[in-house]
Amino acid sequence: MKVIDSLRNKMEGLIQAANRYPLTMLFLIATAVVNAISINNEREDYSRYIFTFLIGALLSAVSQHIFERFFTKMSERIMLLGGAVLLSVAYYFAIQSASVFSTEIGTKTGVTMFALVMAFIWIPTIKSKIAFHESFMSTFKAFFITVLFTAVIAGGVSAIIFATDSLLFSVNNNAIPHALSIVFCLFAPIFFLSFMPPYPGKRDSNLTIEELTLQEEKVEKAISSPKNLRILMSYIIIPLTAVYTVILLAYVILNIRDNFWTKNLLEPLLVSYAITVILVYLLASDLENKFASLFRKVFPKVLVPIVLFQTIASILKIQEMGITYGRYYVILFGIFATIAGLIFSFLPIKKHGIIAAVLIVFSAISIIPPIDAFTVSRVNQINLLEKTLLVNNMIENDTIVPNSAVSKEDKKIITHTVSYIDSMNYANEIDWLPDNVFYYDNFKKTFGFEEVYEQLSNGTAQGQSAYLDWNQNPVLNVEDYDHMVHMNIYSSQAGMDAEQPIPIEKDGMSYMLTKQLVGDYFAISLMDENEEELIQFDTMEISNKLLENNPEGYEGKGNTLTVEKATIIQENDRVKMSILVNSVDAYDAQYSADFYVLLKIK
């Protein structure tokens, strides 16, 4: 009976959550429907619609919390939810105007979602007896419970469908994606919202004493720290954080010198430390023991100088290679972490919600032109490139003049800035910078030298390249193949709309050669008339085979390849596919490759 009662209560909780957040529910249903359509039609890009509905779901949830905290009338609720719809429509048209769903749009969307989540947590605590850390605890618990239940359900549903397909009868290939779409798009968010307690609000004046008592009990249950979490925080996480702090401070003190500030290792260490301290502080705010009390007194004050170290290190990196959108966010986070440390150190715990307001404001600053991360970084990188070229007399009449006598440091700056501009698709905004500058040997033809990349601590470079030497391999034997198709990939294509499949015919049968982004790399697939995949090649193999095991490709010098080395063969009982790599380049997370696909359809 207890199990049945528990299930009944949870179902009632889901229904109540749907009633409490009706517009959110509608947006989630729309997300699930569009995702189902995208699963059935992989050639079309529905990401704009999906992200719009997700933004709408978050906006409507935030609007509901604003209503519950400050308003009571139904007309006011309708106006707030209507505002959420209008903002969602505005977001759709903002991303619709972009030619591609680029890194810029994706990052700004992620930052917007993060800011809305912070608002969702913070709004119930504004001028309330509920503190920000208590609302954070409620959300933290709800999130991890939701993750656990969702993982179990998703795994169970997938196992059932797989077992049915293997043991009983054939199941459609899209059955599992459709089932998981329902779990992730509908069940998970509604289950999460069902844990949100009825926070104190203006409507409380209309409640009876019994209703107020019941509401307070629900809130207290939601914001209380579980016993196991208290033990974990007090006796494991806080001591580990203390040890990590000692190690970090020792590293800083023992190694502080000129090149220390510009080491790539320092920045991620300090950022991760700041995030850890802020999260641990919020989760330990209500703990009453010596470890927690000492942590709350000491660590915010330690946080301030450490994040100042991080911010200084990031600013010094700007002097070397200019501002990128990533470094912009690192510096902005450093400023936020400094403010958070000061707030934790000197303001009472009830005032700590200010950090959420600061975070929301900083998020808005980072996505609204002309001071957003991408506008600032674009202008800075273009100006730095132009300045470096002018200093080296490499621009005349809006045309780049090759110059091989450039200093190594300036070569690094030119390589880095051009790589960033190309990866962000900004090249078309610069009249004097050619398109596809990293394609084959265009970079050397344009600037007069090969790419030169920053050295890693072990002495190797971050850039690699390999090229097929056509002078030594002027003849290519294709007698065993039916078709040869020229293709290329580069990382900035990751945000672009899907390319049209390449049609191929043999013996009266029609086939399609497609290129689809899978994870961080592309998959080249041959499909038959029924859209059944005959063979697939993961382009990650190009990097794995030709770059990772070839140290000659470092330093931008390039590694020349024979036809044998440059050929990767994939074969099954229906198709033989050979990939002949003409050129491949990689720098950090950026990569490009030019190759031929040779096909033998059996």
Q: What angle do CA 163, 166, 171 make, to 5 degrees?
A: 85
CB within 8 Å of 524: residues ≥ 6 apart? 487, 513, 514, 515, 536, 537, 539, 577, 579, 597
Q: Is residue 48 part of a domain?
A: yes
Residue 426 in any domain: the answer is yes
Distance CA 214, CA 216 (A): 5
The number of distinct structural domains making up the chain is: 4
**pLDDT band at 264; cut points 50, 70, 90:** low
Which residue has better confidence, 139 or 41? 139
Residues 199 and 276 in one domain: no
Give the 3-state DSSP-derived string for 411-433, with helices as H, strands as E and coil as C.
Answer: HHHHHHHHHHHHHCCCHHHCCCC
Q: Is 262 or 243 the better-scoring residue by pLDDT?
A: 243
Structural tokens at position 567: 């050929």
Q: What is the pLDDT of residues 569-591, one digit of tens each?
A: 888 888 999 999 988 887 666 77
Last residue of a domain, one of 340, 368, 396: 368
Of 168-182, 471-485, 523-537, give the lowest mean pLDDT range: 471-485
Place of tokens 């063979």: 535
pLDDT-derived band at 456 (thresholds 50, 70, 90) equals: very low
In angstroms, rounded to a whole number, what is the distance separating the alpha carbons of residues 224 and 133? 10
Q: Each residue of 408-439: pLDDT tens digit?
A: 889 989 988 998 888 888 888 888 888 778 76
Over 80: is that where the pLDDT of 470 sits?
Answer: no
**Contact at 8 Å (CB) between 391 and 380?**
no
d(CA 229, CA 227) in angstroms, rounded, equals 5
Give Cβ neighbours of residue 63 (< 8 Å, ≥ 6 apart): 23, 80, 81, 83, 84
At a CB cut-off of 8 Å and minimum separation 6, what does 13 contact? Answer: 194, 195
Q: What is the mean pLDDT of residues 440-457?
A: 74
Q: Other C-beta atoms within 10 Å of 13: how many?
A: 16
Predicted pLDDT at 464: 72
Q: Which pair of structure tokens corresponds to residue 263?
A: 């080491």
Do 215 and 236 belong to one domain? no
497 pLDDT more than 70? no
- Enumerate the β-bridge partners of residue 571: 576
pLDDT at position 554? 40
pLDDT single digits (tens) 161-201: 999 988 988 888 889 999 999 999 999 999 999 999 999 99
* 458 inside domain: no
Q: Does a structural domain hold residue 35? A: yes
At residue 101, the pLDDT reads 60
| Average pLDDT along the chain | 86
Check whether residue 308 and residue 389 sit in a common domain.
no
Give the pLDDT score at 459.
42
Residue 391 in domain: yes
| Domain of residue 337, residue span | 227-368
The answer as to whether 459 is a domain residue is no
The whole-number pLDDT of residue 457 equals: 44
Nearest 5°: phi and psi at 453? -110, 165
pLDDT-based confidence at residue 203 (cuts at 50, 70, 90): confident
Strands 559-561 and 463-468 come out as parallel
**Chain-centre distance of CA 152, in angstroms?**
25
DSSP H helices, 185-324, are 188-193, 209-223, 227-232, 238-255, 266-283, 290-321
Give the gyration radius of the chain's Cα atoms: 28
Q: Which residues contact 35 (CB under 8 A, 6 or more apart)?
A: 46, 50, 181, 185
Those residues whose C-beta lies under 8 Å from the C-beta of residue 197, and which sit 6 or more positions away, are 138, 215, 218, 219, 221, 222, 223
Q: Are residues 60 and 206 in the same domain?
A: yes
CA distance 428 to 431: 7
- At what angle are helices 290-321 and 238-255 packed, to 10 degrees? 40
pLDDT at 263: 60
430 and 566 share one domain: no
Of 452, 477, 510, the residue that ends a domain is 452
By three-state DSSP, how is residue 521 classified?
strand
Distance CA 514, CA 537 (A): 10
The candidate with the shortest Cα–Cα distance to 452, out of 398, 408, 417, 422, is: 408
Alpha-carbon span 384 to 390, nearest angstrom: 10
Is the domain of 259 the same as that of 185?
Answer: no
Q: How far is CA 66 from the centre of its chain?
A: 28
Q: Between vectors from CA 61 to CA 58 and to CA 62, what angle results, nearest 5°?
A: 85
- Tell me: do 417 and 469 sit in the same domain: no
Task: For 95-109, write each residue's pLDDT tens digit.
Answer: 876 655 678 888 999
Is 512 a residue whose pLDDT tops 80? Answer: yes
Residues 39 and 185 in one domain: yes
Nearest to 523, CA basis, from 436, 438, 435, 597: 597
Residue 371, pLDDT score: 94
| Structural domain includes residue 385 | yes
The span from the CA of 484 to the CA of 290, in Å, is 71
| Encoded amino acid at 161, one letter | I
Question: Looking at residues 340-356, what average pLDDT do you find?
Answer: 94
Query: Does residue 204 share a domain with residue 80?
Result: yes
DSSP calls for 32-51: HHHHHHHHH-TTS--HHHHH
AA identity, residue 37: I
Q: Are residues 219 and 231 in the same domain?
A: no
The answer to whether residues 93 and 137 belong to one domain is: yes
As given in the structure block, the two tokens for residue 44 are 């079309």
pTM of the model: 0.78
Percent of the chain with pLDDT over 90: 49
Q: Give CA–CA dist 128/351, Å, rounded.
A: 11
> Which residue blocks in 71-124 are alpha helix, DSSP H?
74-96, 103-122
Instruction: Find all residues with CB under 8 Å of 123, minimum gap 6, and list them.
Output: 62, 65, 66, 69
Q: What are phi and psi of 590, to 5 degrees?
A: -95, 140
Measured distance CA(245)–CA(253) in Å, rounded: 12
Please identify, among 204, 223, 242, the residue that sits at the C-terminal boundary of a domain: 223
**What pLDDT digit, counting tens, does each position of 282-313 carry?**
999 988 888 889 999 999 998 898 888 778 87
User: Does 417 share its domain with 436?
Assistant: yes
The single residue listed with the structure tokens 């959550």 is: 17
Whole-angstrom distance, CA of residue 63 vs CA of residue 169: 47
Single-letter code of the amino acid located at 165: D
Of 117, 128, 119, which is closest to residue 201 (Cα–Cα)? 128
Give the Cα separation of 358 and 379 in Å (integer). Answer: 26
SS3 call for 97? coil
